[in-house]
Structure 1
Amino acid sequence: MQVAPRRTGEWWISPAIPAVANAALASLWAFTAFGGWGEQAFCGVDSAHDPTCATGFENAVLSSLAVVIPAVVIMVSALVLRRVRHYPDRLGMMLTAAAFLWVGAEGIVFLGGYLAQPS
């Protein structure tokens, strides 16, 4: 990773930074959605577990897939397509866009889980 000036007044950030951010955000979303973190946080555990809340949280996860799928497509295409991979500006731009989509997916899961909580 490096941050270095390209020309006078212009800074360049290595594409490794948004790539690592994408990996971290994707892992966070996966553990929240499918690893039980989100359901446990919003719907309780053991005897306090609310099945209605769990269904609402599952709906939130399914809703977040509308944002996750484009994020995955952007990440994979940015790393596979040669015309993107060999140009750091394009690669960084695409990976940054995917990172923002991951943040949006986390927001959907969080908001959906919050709304699914029993009153």
Structure 2
Amino acid sequence: MSLFHAYLKNSVDDATLRYVMTFASREVADEWWRIVSTPPSPYTKTITRISPQFYTHKNDPLLVCDFFCGRYHEATPPFLGRMFFTTLNRSDLGDGLAIIPPIDIADHVSGNW
């Protein structure tokens, strides 16, 4: 089992609310995606999977950072200690983008890339 990383970016602008999500494994990332993309999750209309290592979210009152303590906290206990969010620098301030290692993987949701 090795760490798996994915970007999560605000789809409304290119400056704010960007994250790197760190998962204990690729399987944990898939579990997380199934939880947030399936009703009754409040994230079904706010988070979009672009590729296995890239997601977008809409900046609304249900912020991604509320995943562990917000309105949908009953779904989060299995992920405590298995994933976390790291806020990236803001590009509107001229800060750079942290680079995660690309991984050649089959997309478990969409098939091979």
TM-score between both structures, scaled by the size of structure 1: 0.26
Which one has more relative contact order, counting CA pairs under 8 Å at least 6 apart?
A: 1
- Higher strand share goes to which structure? 2
TM-score between both structures, scaled by the size of structure 2: 0.26
